Amino acid sequence: MQDGKTEAKLEDEIDASEGLASLADAEGTKSLEAYLASKQKGRNRVS
């Protein structure tokens, strides 16, 4: 039983590490500044 708990804890730690690493991957994303600028341009076209 103890081995199962230890294995589950290690898997949780690995999942957490992978999740944090994915947050650092900025490929294919847009900065907040660029996003807001594109929204502002879109708003000006509608007016």
Q: Is the pLDDT score of 34 beyond 70? A: yes
**What percent helix, strand, coil does the chain show, rounded to 5?**
80, 0, 20
User: CA angle 34-29-14, nearest 5°?
Assistant: 145
User: Sorting pLDDT into bands at 50, 70 and 90, what band is 36?
Assistant: very high
Q: Is the pLDDT score of 23 beyond 90? A: no
Reading the block at residue 11, the tokens are 């898997």
Q: Is the pLDDT score of 47 beyond 60? A: no
16-40: average pLDDT: 88
What digits encode the pLDDT tens for the residues 1-19? 578 889 999 999 999 999 8
